[in-house]
Each structure stands twice: as structure tokens, then as C-alpha cells.
Structure 1
Amino acid sequence: MQLLLPLTAVVLATTSTFAQVIQDQLHDQMKLIPDTTTSSPPPIKTGVGHFSEWSRENKRQFLIDWQQGRSSEWTLVQGNEGGDLDSMTAALTWAYHLQHSTQNTPNPIKAIALLQTPTDALDLRPENKVALHNSQMRSGHSDLLTINELPEDPQTLARDIKGIVIVDHAVPLRKWSNAPILSIFDHHKDQGAGPDAKPRIFEAVASCTTLVARQMLDELEALPEEYHLPHELLELILGAISIDSSGLRDATEEDRKVAQRVLERSNWRKSKLDKKMEDLDDELGKAKKDIDGLGVRDLLRRDWKGDLVNTSSQDTRAVSLGFSSIPYSLDEQIEKTGFKELFDWFAVEAAWTAQVGADISVALNKYKTKEGKKKQKVREIVLCVRSDVRIDEDKADGLFQTIKTAIENDESLNAKPWHRVDELGKRQMAWTHDLEDAGRKVIRPIIEAAVAAWT
């Protein structure tokens, strides 16, 4: 696939500012290159639920309006690019609410959920597949709009649409920075984006879907006449809250209150809340763990979150940084490669990051070891820096050393070199650490700060 830029863009790229614009465009175009190794999908089985029918028709209308130049009428509700059940459900829920709560007003809202995950990556989270199947959605996810189905580059589309709503994420990805931020719902740290967004909700709950569902129910109950809430959507909401709160065992009081309100409107209204949420967590949690058959490439991309990060370098204003979260040790992953050797893991990793145009990739692995009768949680950090996208060899060496130093100097991590560190190649490093809660939310700010300060 050739990536061709207009002649005017090539001319403008002679300045450093426009050169970075072109780099950003290439980065996003690379992400949309289809995976030619994927086999043809099986025949589509039509979803039978009301929610599936609405979602498919909504997708159809969005594509019709885009083709006829009416993108400006649409609001895109988008979660994070990891595409977990919480992010997906929150986006679908709010898009449904926006449309139905305004359908009898002088200015009805056109809204669609955009899943920022490629279609062929959705099933890499088996819990999503189970939850969507239970909600009677179409097989193959043809009633959902995914990032690889967008008919226009996000940077261009962002200038045309009415705006975006962000759920389960504090800031929009850089490629959507041209779009107005209309609303934000997140259960993480407020990073200051969209100060004029309404509603703008940041609250520490187990599931972002809790915040979206609460706002939906509050507004629904305030309407002169309530619109229809399909039981399939309500059950999807309960599933998302359940899996993020471990069947309400890790729930806040708000998670519990909202789940009860949703349950009372669902077909499960006669069930006890705790029992139903435990059952959902058991079903979805079992599916979530069913990933032993995934290869290294799929493990890297199933929970990939990345974006362009600004630097302090005058020559390289931004680099692409991506994180994957993998529930296997690096040793276990090596056994999943074709040659079952260390070099092959890094070959697979390099092929994946080349496809998505990443300069820096960080694999965050977690697993358990058994010492006697006690299990111990162990985490790993695997760092790779490339030199073939935006930065040359010297700059890549400097960037790698900057990040490596930041990780090793962080006293809370107390990172120790991986046991086979002497076998690693150029700009490759791996560590282990025992900080149990130090997943992406902890590691990402450390690395982003190092990248931002890099000159």
C-alpha cells in the first residue's frame, strides 16, 4: 500500500513545523494499513436485538451522511484505544442516550460510538465477544463502527464533525485534537482537557460505565417522557460494571447504586444484585483469561495504547510512544514464538511496531511465581526504541538512554535487570520489579515525562 501525500503538503514540509504535521499524518495512516495476514471472516449472523438494530442503522446513517458531506452533524463518542469492555460499553451507552434523549427536540443530536480498536482486534479480548453475543449483537461486529472503518483520516474528520465525547480516557488522542471536546467521562486523573466540556465528570469509581449510566439515568428520568432502554444495553452495562469491580467486590458505593438502578430496569430485575453481578463476573472473567492461544503479535496489540508525545528536541518535536499490557512473563511469551527463542520475540515486536509507526514501545508484563505455598506477583518492563520512523541512530540512542535512566532512577519501582539482560540487542532493555500496582497508570507517566524532557 502506497502512502501518497499531496504535492502542496510536500512543499510545506520544508519547514520543521509542517514536517512534523506530515510525520503525524504518516503515523496515523500507518495505523490504518490492513492486516493482510488475517483470513476472511465467517458469514455474518444478523443480530436480533433492538440494540443491534439501532447500532447498525446508526452506523449506516453516519456513513451516508459522510458520503453526502454532512459529517458536521455528527458527534463521535469514543473510548480509549485499548478497547476493553468498560470503554466500549460507555461509548455505546452515551451515543444511544444522546440520540434518544434529544429525538423529540427541535435539535436532535446525531451521535455514534467510535471504537478506537481495529475490527479484527476486538475479539482479542474474549470477554468483549461474550458480552456482545449475550447482548444479541451481530457476529463479526458489523453493527459497530471501528477505527479502521472510518472513511476519512481522523485528523481531517476531526475538523469536520460537530465534536467528540471522551469516555474512559482523560484526553483525546492527538489525531483528534482538531475536534471540539463536548463532554468527558473518566474514572482516572483529570489532565485538564476540555475545560468547557459539559458534562465533564471525573470520579474515582471502579467502572467508567458507572458514570455514564448514572448520567444517562438521571437525564432519562428528568424527561417528560422516557425513551425505550433496550434490555440488551442494560445487560451490557451491568457486565462492564461487574468485570471492572470484580463482581462488586471492589466496587464503590456509586458503582453499587448505579448497578442496582440498571438492574431494576433490566430483564434481570428479579435477581439479587450481588448474585447477578458475581455470576456476570464469573462468566466474563473466565472468558477474559482465555487467551492462551494468542501469539506474541496478538498479545502486543490486544491492549495497545499509544499516541504521539511532544519532546523538548528542536529537530524532533514529537515521537510515537506505545504501551502493551500482557499477562505473561517474557520467558512465557518467547515460548509462543515460532522459533521459541529470544531473538524471535523481538522480531515479532519489531514487525508490530513498524506496522503502527511506533518509535518507542513498552511491554508491561505481569505474572505470578510460586514460592512454597505462596504466590508472588511479578511485573516486567520491556523497552525498545526504533530509529527508522522519526529519529536517526544517534537520537534513538539518546532517547533510549533517557528512558532507561528514568526507569532505573525511580526509587518506587526499584527495577532490576531481567535475568537474560546480557542477551538483549541494541536499544533493548528489560527489567523486573515487585511493585504490584505499577501497571500502565504508574509506568506511563514516568516514561512520558522522560520523553517530554528529552532534547
Structure 2
Amino acid sequence: MFTNEKWDKIDALYSVDAICGFLAVICPGFENTYKQKENETPPYYWPLEEGVGHFSQWSKSTKRQFVDEIRLGKASEWVVVMGNEGGDLDSMTAALTWSYHLSHLALNTTHTLSQPDPNHPPHPKKAIALLQTPRDALDLRPENKLALRNVQMSPGHRDLLTIDELPLPAEELAKQLKGIVLVDHPQPLSVWEGARVLSIFDHHKDRGNAPDARPRIFEGTASCTTIVAREMLNELEELPKEYHMPHEVVELILDAIALDSDGLKKGTPEDKFTSRRLLKRSNWKSEKLLEVMDRLDNEMKKAKKDLEDLGVRDLLRRDWKGDIVKTKSERYPEVHLGLASIPYSLDDQIKRTLHETTQSWFEIEGQWTKEIKADISLSLNSYKLIKKKVEKDGKQKVREVCLVVRASHRLDENSATSLFNAIKETIDESPFIDAEPWHKVDELEQRQMVWVHHVPNGGRKLIRPIIEDAVKNWK
């Protein structure tokens, strides 16, 4: 019997590299085409089926130029626009939008990232969007796949630059870049701490990072893409002559805003006003705004829920956000904390394992966190429980918090237990979570704990700061 994890390994056998390697054996002459000098982009990579339209061509061309110029030592000429490592539609779209804007904005405008120089002719800025998600994890978000297909991007995400395609390690590249722009994220991951933060656009809590960044905008919109799109439109419309804004970019932005704002039903006035400005530039300009946004929201939500075929490992990594957290411990000043958001109950996920036991789930979780060297992991599960006389639709939102602290990478057994107890005590006593032990808590083993709570907005935005504070204060 094949588990989902075994199917993952089988799928990996049919990668582009594997297929081309096979052809090199059976097809005379293919070997000379397949074999390349080290670090060169294989020629078979680009002739595959391509996306059409200006946006796809620009993205692919920019990616090739970036990779080539980094290898030539020209990193100081580039700005990298990056979202959070979860790689959701909002984060991806915001990064693509702002990088497109920067690359088309001339230096003789009033753009805030650089001072205009009348002695130099206008020319575009070198900017690229980076998805801080491995390429093989992009399709774990089917809504992203649908949105990119709708705007005619190349299949297989070949137009996009992912974290595992960087020509240099992130820590090394960070020190060489002209700078980075953060979207949908308040501070850079630890691997990018060596880079200058030029701008920040976010709809989360301001953590005080990069106070000199310009623009530096923290605003409570439903979608971060709203903020980026508004600033883009403001600067675009101030230009003496607008650069070409393809309808594909506009429609990708509307997809992201629609999904995050529930078709504008939960949108702020800024989400609605910016969406109206964007609609006028789209192929849907003759339609009514709310009808368009409701349709897009339904399409994206339907795709987003199509996760039935994912195994536990893929559910954990599809929306994983983690980084180094500094502690007060002299012996362990840094630990790696990660959080996964999963739209299924733990009981449901357990049924997807080979033996359908609680510890089967934790074994898969342990393999994943060992692979990425996470010391602390939390799986934040959410689902709806059907009950009578509960809410208008008869469903109650239930949330779970699964905590594991692992020894072997940074922590020894005693320290891991101490850290686990500190986090567990924080969750047990937090008035903001009001958590209760899971119904199968007696099946848990050392440094494992699962809670259930019903806080409506009790996802990662609530849990992460609470856990980070507990880890920072651990000695």
C-alpha cells in the first residue's frame, strides 16, 4: 500500500530533470543538449510550453536576467521584492505587482526609493519578485495555481523565482543586493538580515523594523495587495506618460483582494476603493464591481479547498512560516520556531496516515521538522463542527493547537523539555486563547501537546506573537 509520502517520492521521479536524463539515454544526440556547464540554465527549461502575454514574458525575462547577473557579480544592481514564506496568493501577488512597478518606473519620477537625477536619462530599475517557497511546494496552494493560469503564466511556475532557485545562498546574496522590499510581512527572515530594507508594505502589526524604509506602510486592510496596488496606481497616474499596465497584472491583483476580503464583503473602504480603480483597467470594466469580486472570490475559494489529495507532510508544508527566534538562554540563544496552518482537524489528518494512529501523525510531523531543522513546531488546525443552534449556519468554528518541541538539532533533552514546559504553561494560562486539552490527550508522548479552542480570530496572527514572547523570555 502506498502512503501519500511514498507517492511524493514517486512524483519526484518524474521531474523535468529526471525525464531529460532518461531521454539522454534513449535518444541519440540529446545528451549533448542535456549536459551543461555547472550553474548554467539548461536549454530544455525554456522551450517547454510557455505562458502568453506581456506579464509572462516580462516575468520570465526578468528571472533569466537576474540569475545571469547574480552569477556575474552584479547583485548590487538588483532590488528583490519578497513576501512571507507561506507564499499565499496575497503575498505572491503583492511581490509580483511591486516588482513589475519598480522595473517599469523611470528614475526621473518622484518615486520614493531613490532621488530623481536630472543628469541621467530615465531607465527602469532592476527588480524581481522572490517567492520564499520551494518550487515543488507552489502547487500545494491550488488557488495560486488557478490565479496564475488565469493570467496566462507558464505552467510549472517557470516564470517565477523561488527560494530554492537563487544562484547564491540567501545569507550571502543579502549582503550584495541593492536592497529588499517586504510585502505582507513586517520584518525580514533571519537569512535576509544582512540586506538593506528599502520599503515595507504590510497589513499586520508593525514590529518597528527598518524605520528608515520608504515607503513604509502598515495599514489594516483585508489584503496587503490593496496597499501595494494603491501605491502603484498613485505613482503610475502621476507619471507624464504611463508605462504599459497589462490587464493580467490587474486581474491577478483583483483575485488576491477578492479572496482576502470575501468578495469585498469583509473589505475595508480602501480595499473597495482600490478595487474599483483596478476594475476600470481590467477586461471586466463593463461589469459591476461587487459581482466581479464575488465571482472571483468563489472561484478562488473553491480552488483553495481542493486539498483532499494532500498527505500530512504536504498539509504541514503548504502554509508553513518559520524562522529563528532569539532567546534569553546563554546556552541556546537561538531556536527555530515554525507554524503550519491546516484547514482540517487532527482527527481528519490522522486518517490520512498509514496506520491511522495519533503517533503516525507525529512521526510524519517529526520527519518534516527534522528535515527543516525546526526545534519548535505548532500546527494550527481549523475546521467547522456541525451543531444545532450554533451560529446562523449551524456550524461552529473549532481550532486546535498542536505543539511539539524536538531535541537533537540545537537542544538537548533537558533543555527541550524546559522549553516545552514554558510554552505549554503560556498556552494553558493565556486568557486570549482559553484552550482546553484535546480529547485524545492521553495518546500523546513526551513534549507533545494538543489543545482545542474556539476563539474566532485565533489563527496564526493571534498565536504566533504569544508563542514568540514565551520563547524570547525562556532562559
Matched, 1:69 2:73: yes
Amino acid at match of 2:316: L
Deviation at 1:427, TM superposition (A): 0.5
Q: Which residue is equivalent to 2:116?
A: none
Matched, 1:88 2:80: no
Question: Match of 1:367, SS?
Answer: strand
- Trace 1:227-242 onto structure 2 (pairs within 5 A): 227-242=243-258
Question: Match of 1:265, SS?
Answer: coil
Deviation at 1:365, TM superposition (A): 0.5
Matched, 1:330 2:346: yes
Amino acid at match of 1:64: D
**What are the Cα deviations for residues 15-59 of structure 1, in whole angstroms up to 9, with x where unaligned?**
xxxxxxxxxxxxxxxxxxx98962424794200121000000000
Matched, 1:432 2:452: yes
- C-alpha distance in structure 2 between counterparts of 1:46 and 1:206, whole Å: 33
Match of 2:428 among 378, 403, 408: 408
Deviation at 1:368, TM superposition (A): 1.2
Amino acid at match of 1:385: V
Q: Does the CA-based 8 Å contact 1:79-1:169 persist in structure 2?
A: yes
- C-alpha distance in structure 2 between counterparts of 1:207 and 1:228, whole Å: 24
Deviation at 1:336, TM superposition (A): 0.6
Question: Match of 2:84, SS?
Answer: coil
Please say which of residues 399-408 and 262-271 is displaced more in the overlay. 262-271
Match of 1:180 among 196, 206, 222: 196
Q: Which residue is equivalent to 2:112?
A: none
- C-alpha distance in structure 2 between counterparts of 1:200 and 1:297, whole Å: 36
- Trace 1:238-253 onto structure 2 (pairs within 5 A): 238-253=254-269
**What are the Cα deviations for residues 391-436 of structure 1, in whole angstroms up to 9, with x where unaligned?**
1011001000000000001022121111111111111000101112
**Same amino acid, percent of matched pairs:** 58
- Trace 1:2-81 onto structure 2 (pairs within 5 A): 38-41=12-15, 44-81=48-85
Question: Match of 1:160, SS?
Answer: coil
- Trace 1:361-440 onto structure 2 (pairs within 5 A): 361-372=377-388, 374-440=394-460
Deviation at 1:443, TM superposition (A): 0.6
- C-alpha distance in structure 2 between counterparts of 1:183 and 1:35, whole Å: 40
Matched, 1:454 2:474: yes
- C-alpha distance in structure 2 between counterparts of 1:141 and 1:79, whole Å: 17
Amino acid at match of 2:305: K
Q: Does the CA-based 8 Å contact 1:174-1:307 persist in structure 2?
A: yes
Count of residue pairs the alignment pairs up: 422
Q: Does the CA-based 8 Å contact 1:242-1:280 persist in structure 2?
A: yes
Deviation at 1:108, TM superposition (A): 3.5
Q: Does the CA-based 8 Å contact 1:320-1:360 persist in structure 2?
A: yes
Amino acid at match of 1:208: C
**What are the Cα deviations for residues 287-319 of structure 1, in whole angstroms up to 9, with x where unaligned?**
011111111001000000000000000011100
Q: Which residue is equivalent to 2:226?
A: 210
Question: Match of 1:444, SS?
Answer: helix
**What are the Cα deviations for residues 216-240 of structure 1, in whole angstroms up to 9, with x where unaligned?**
0100011111000011111000000
Amino acid at match of 1:68: L
Q: Which residue is equivalent to 1:140?
A: 156
- C-alpha distance in structure 2 between counterparts of 1:99 and 1:319, whole Å: 37
Q: Which residue is equivalent to 2:5?
A: none
- C-alpha distance in structure 2 between counterparts of 1:196 and 1:224, whole Å: 28
Amino acid at match of 1:100: H
Q: Which residue is equivalent to 1:283?
A: 299
- C-alpha distance in structure 1 between counterparts of 2:107 and 2:63, whole Å: 17
Matched, 1:193 2:209: yes
- C-alpha distance in structure 1 between counterparts of 2:201 and 2:360, whole Å: 40
Question: Match of 2:12, SS?
Answer: coil
TM-score normalised by structure 2 residue count = 0.87
Amino acid at match of 1:161: L
Amino acid at match of 1:409: E
Matched, 1:293 2:306: no
- Trace 1:267-282 onto structure 2 (pairs within 5 A): 267-282=283-298
Q: Does the CA-based 8 Å contact 1:169-1:186 persist in structure 2?
A: yes
Q: Root-mean-square deviation (CA), in Å?
A: 1.5
Q: Which residue is equivalent to 1:30?
A: none
Instruction: List gaps (5 residues or longer) in structure 1.
Output: 1-33
Amino acid at match of 1:66: I
Instruction: List gaps (5 residues or longer) in structure 2.
Output: 1-7, 17-44, 109-120
- C-alpha distance in structure 2 between counterparts of 1:301 and 1:49, whole Å: 32
- C-alpha distance in structure 1 between counterparts of 2:227 and 2:356, whole Å: 44
Matched, 1:264 2:280: yes
Q: Which residue is equivalent to 1:23?
A: none
Amino acid at match of 1:38: A
Amino acid at match of 1:50: H
Match of 2:165 among 140, 145, 149: 149
* Change over 3 Å in CA distance of 1:35–1:164 after alignment to 2: farther
TM-score normalised by structure 1 residue count = 0.91
Amino acid at match of 1:59: K
- C-alpha distance in structure 2 between counterparts of 1:257 and 1:292, whole Å: 36
Amino acid at match of 1:356: I
Q: Does the CA-based 8 Å contact 1:300-1:363 persist in structure 2?
A: yes
- C-alpha distance in structure 2 between counterparts of 1:207 and 1:310, whole Å: 29
- C-alpha distance in structure 2 between counterparts of 1:204 and 1:116, whole Å: 23
**What are the Cα deviations for residues 81-137 of structure 1, in whole angstroms up to 9, with x where unaligned?**
010000000000000000101277546310000000111111111100000000000
**What are the Cα deviations for residues 134-168 of structure 1, in whole angstroms up to 9, with x where unaligned?**
00000000000000101111111100000100000
Matched, 1:342 2:316: no
**What are the Cα deviations for residues 324-369 of structure 1, in whole angstroms up to 9, with x where unaligned?**
0001110000001111111110110001001111000000001111
Amino acid at match of 1:403: I
* Change over 3 Å in CA distance of 1:37–1:391 after alignment to 2: farther
Q: Does the CA-based 8 Å contact 1:41-1:140 persist in structure 2?
A: no
- C-alpha distance in structure 2 between counterparts of 1:227 and 1:123, whole Å: 32
Matched, 1:321 2:337: yes
- C-alpha distance in structure 1 between counterparts of 2:292 and 2:107, whole Å: 33
Question: Match of 2:127, SS?
Answer: strand
Q: Does the CA-based 8 Å contact 1:75-1:163 persist in structure 2?
A: yes
